[in-house]
Amino acid sequence: MSAHFDLSKDEMKSYGYKIVDLIAEHWATIEEQKPVVKATREEMDSVFLQEAPEKGMSADKVLDFVVENVIPNSSVTAHPKAFSFVPGPSNFISTMADSLATGFNIFSGGWMVSPAAAELEIVTMNWLLKMYDFPVAKGGGIFTSGGSMANLTAIVTARRLKCGDDFSKAVIYLSDQAHSSNIKAIRVLGFKKEQIRILPTDIEFRISMNKLKNAIAKDRLEGLEPFCFIASAGTTNTGTVDPLEDIADICEAEGLWMHVDGAYGGAAILSEKGARALRGIERADSLTVDPHKWFFQPYEIGCLLVKDSSWLSNTFSEKPEYLRDIEGNESEINFYDYGIQLTRRLRALKFYMSIKTYGLETFKKAITYNIQIAEDVERMLRKSRNWEIISPANLAIINFRYNPLHLDLTEPQIDEVNQKISEKIMENADAFLVTTLLNKQVVLRMCLINPKTTFKDVEDTFLRCNLYAEEILNLK
Ligand SMILES: *Cc1c(COP(=O)(O)O)cnc(C)c1O
């Protein structure tokens, strides 16, 4: 073997076609696959654990091994019965776009290296700015690896703009339903525990405005400096949207940065109901959306939008000598100046190609369908004697539990039976359906953002749930 990595053109083609065939086969048969897989560390070690080999082997053999062992040991988050966490329905065009971006290894840090890559990010960012009614000329944004990185990028920008270098008295606010990535980001940024206010939500899982106002006022009395509120536009647990208009009013009056974490629910802006639920989102200073969730993109692509692009460049520009020649014209954006990464893959390509190919219309229809099907599930469960809704259909998420009318189960019994229903469903790979905790109750949660999910998929899943519940309670 020589000291290079090249294959002949024919070898590359036959190897590449094999992979394309595998991916196409996968997409064409998703419904027939199992949504859930489970394996222990011991089982995986017994398959994979070995030293890095000194000598290579046939590429086909390595590929065969991967196809036999990696793929079947990964859950299919695009499966129509994958209801847990946030499913990854993805789409085929974007899948191929990612292959193109990687195949040509297009560097998306600076304009000078890849002007088209930067232009695509500018253009797609403009589409997003317009969607959320952010100013297109003045506003800006950047694609990140995901929502976590977008939130981190937002909070560091907020801190830079609001607090400058001294943030020892700064206080940041968020609700107890805000996503954990925000707390992670706050910790990464070196805030102390005393600088973080996690505020309780009301019975519908929205931030309590009263609690927020109290907290800000009391912190000012203590000589602290409230600087940022993180609102949720679609919590991951329940799809609940915080009262964005009220929050915007308070943030304006108090001089707080308003960050909206729309990583889960932001895409709902493309449906009528979603747009109504998200009213006020246009008043945010910064907004996280997460195209690898409800914009149907493959992992990894998140996005941060801001009202004024100079906020990002003022936070992230550094000018090392070796980047001197790249600087150039200001309209020619170097995205390494807008965020944390210097070397970046071309994330914009999949977003661009999928929207160009399918049109916004297809995205709108899919998202409208997702919201509708969750409401249909709610209606079905309301009419059932066995099921109780804990949080109604909100932006395609619904939480419920098995609690039959005539049985008078105690709270611990209800928790137990619901936990066990999930375990049985997962064990038998009927569906990917896990529990969450709401008001300390164990509940089952469905996130229905897959356009392939039919009402029958849901009905079948409930049929299994009812069966298992009866087994667990020895009703048969
Ligand atoms: C998923 C999620 C995140 C984190 O996004 P990643 O893409 O997983 O990093 C942040 N906020 C909310 C509301 C989310 O649902």
Please work out whether the CB of residue 179 comes within 6 Å of at least one atom of ligand 1.
yes
Please work out whether the CB of residue 261 comes within 6 Å of at least one atom of ligand 1.
yes
Please work out whether the CB of residue 302 comes within 6 Å of at least one atom of ligand 1.
yes
Please work out whether the CB of residue 181 comes within 6 Å of at least one atom of ligand 1.
yes
User: For residue 151, which atom of ligand 1 is closest to its CA?
Assistant: 10
Residue from 145, 183, 235, 236 to probe ligand 1 pocket by mutation (most atoms less than 8 Å from CB):
236
User: What is the whole-number distance in angstroms between the Cα of residue 291 and the centre of ligand 1?
Assistant: 10
Please work out whether the CB of residue 86 comes within 6 Å of at least one atom of ligand 1.
yes
- The structural domains of the chain, ordered by start, are 106-358 (3.40.640.10), 361-472 (3.90.1150.170)
pLDDT beyond 70 at 1: no
Residue-wise pLDDT tens digits, 203-232 = 999 999 999 999 999 999 999 999 999 999
Please work out whether the CB of residue 147 comes within 6 Å of at least one atom of ligand 1.
yes
Any idea which residue has 């970046």 for tokens?
Answer: 344
User: For residue 290, which atom of ligand 1 is closest to its CA?
Assistant: 7
User: What is the whole-number distance in angstroms between the Cα of residue 86 and the centre of ligand 1?
Assistant: 9
User: What is the whole-number distance in angstroms between the Cα of residue 293 and the centre of ligand 1?
Assistant: 8
User: For residue 146, which atom of ligand 1 is closest to its CA?
Assistant: 7
Residue-wise pLDDT tens digits, 102-146 = 999 999 999 999 999 999 999 999 999 999 999 999 999 999 999
Alpha-helix runs per DSSP H in 145-179: 147-163
Residue-wise pLDDT tens digits, 171-189 = 999 999 999 999 999 999 9
Residues 108 and 346 sit within 8 Å (Cβ to Cβ): yes
Please work out whether the CB of residue 146 comes within 6 Å of at least one atom of ligand 1.
yes
Describe the strand order of the beta sheet including 387-394 as a list of residue ranges. 387-394, 397-402, 441-447, 435-438
pLDDT beyond 70 at 363: yes
Please work out whether the CB of residue 148 comes within 6 Å of at least one atom of ligand 1.
yes
pLDDT at position 325 is 75
Instruction: Give the angle 286-288-293 at the CA atoms, nearest 5°.
Output: 165
Please work out whether the CB of residue 264 comes within 6 Å of at least one atom of ligand 1.
yes
Sign, Cα dihedral of 91, 267, 258, 219: negative
Q: Residue range 266-293: average pLDDT?
A: 98
Confidence of residue 476 (pLDDT cuts 50, 70, 90): low
Confidence of residue 255 (pLDDT cuts 50, 70, 90): very high
Side-chain-facing half-sphere of 158: CA atoms under 13 Å: 32
